[in-house]
Amino acid sequence: MIEVLRCGAMTSVQDLGRFGMRHLGVGQSGVLDPIATQQANLLLGNDANAAVLELTVGPLQLAFHQDCTVVLTGVDFSTSISTGKAAAAQQAAIPGQAMELKAGMQITLQRPTIPGTRAYLAVSGGIDVPVVLGSRSTDMASGFGGFHGRALQTGDVLPIGRFFTPPRNAPYGIRPLAPSHVLRATPGPDYDAFTADAHQRFWMQPWGISHQSSRMGLRLNGQALTLNKPLSLLSAGVLPGNVQVPPNGLPIVLSNDAQTIGGYPRIASVIQADLWQLAHLPPLTSVYFQPVTHAVAAQARERQLRYLERLREALLGAERIN
């Protein structure tokens, strides 16, 4: 068990997401950065889909009531480990490394070194909350899944699943991926409804990231995108990564907690392989869209899946460690 001694806003239990439920209006939820999550789970010998904690703002202080191995990935959160006793020496935690904790020890994550980016805390065995509609992810808007359908609060006690031996090469650790602030995208169904100027602006302009961005979507600021003529669309299914343009002309990249059906023109879709970056794009920075074909998008996705597969094999002890 893990006890939450102190908890800032918006820390939640998430796995890789809830799929196959959008026809009932149920969104995907799940970690915004599936790469960092799988890196952490693989390092622990967990199932890649084991539930982790996603942190957006600190602090988070946890007490472990059993021996456990933990891994931090994503952005550095200035994390320390202590024995839990007053005046005891603290030890800095290293992101991307498996750390063995004894029962009674505490871990404290302060705040992200870059505000507006996310960290992941994985534990051996995973956070063992019940599976609801096929996933352990928290659907915060609708209040189900995860830990009682909500963000964590001080005093919560989280169950941990049964765990196995970490892979042989776990001590080597893993390197986090660095976000590039370039989101590759394919043109969307309503691309041709936008003016030539809008096309130019969409691909060339640095888009400022709004403070109103959330797990629902990345809201962007810049010169507005205009349509050839007003467009009123029948509601249709949308997916994370779809770029919608509401009447104010400022695009929104839909993210994991977005609703399942929308009616705004869709100018583009961010490719699957680049969606993890939505977890790490802080407000007041800029992002660019880069046009690619569907074939390039599919290749990028395959490469990413192969990277995770190779990482799993390397950790298990094949000699291809580099």
Contact residues for another protein, defined by CB under 8 A: 19-27, 132-133, 139, 141-145, 186, 188-189, 231-239, 241-242, 259-261, 266, 269-272, 294, 297-298, 301, 305
* Contact present, 124 and 90 (Cβ < 8 Å): no
**Shortest Cβ 205–another protein spacing (Å):** 22
Q: How far is the CB of 143 from another protein (least distance, A)?
A: 7
Burial class of residue 83 (count of CB atoms within 10 Å of its CB; 0-12, 13-18, 19+): middle
DSSP at 141:
T
| Smallest separation (angstroms) from another protein to the CB of 46 | 21
Report in angstroms how near the CB of residue 301 gets to another protein at its nearest.
7
- Locate tokens 């892979």: which residue? 167
Both tokens of residue 256?
Answer: 């994991």
Contact 185, 268 (CB under 8 A): yes
Comparing CA positions, the residue from 206, 167, 102 lying closest to residue 312 is 167
Q: What angle do CA 273, 278, 279 make, to 5 degrees?
A: 110
Taking the complex as a whole, the smallest distance from the CB of residue 110 to another protein amounts, in Å, to 32
Q: Which is nearer to another protein, 66 or 226 (CB)?
A: 226
Minimum CB distance to another protein, residue 171 (Å) = 32
Question: Which residue type, as a one-letter code, is found at position 66?
Answer: Q
Q: Cβ of residue 193: shortest distance to another protein, in angstroms?
A: 9
CA R_g for the chain: 20
Pick between residue 214 and residue 223 the one whose CB is nearest to another protein: 214
Nearer to another protein among residue 14 and residue 186 (C-beta)? 186
CA dist., res. 186 & res. 203, Å (int): 11
Q: Which two tokens stand for residue 179?
A: 């976000």
Residue closer to another protein (CB basis): 24 or 87: 24
Q: How far apart are CA 47 and CA 164, in angstroms?
A: 10
The residue (of 23 and 320) whose beta carbon lies closer to another protein is 23
* Residue 123 or 140 with smaller CB distance to another protein: 140
Report the candidate in 139, 121, 143 with the shortest Cα–Cα distance to residue 60. Answer: 121
99 vs 141 by CB, closer to another protein = 141
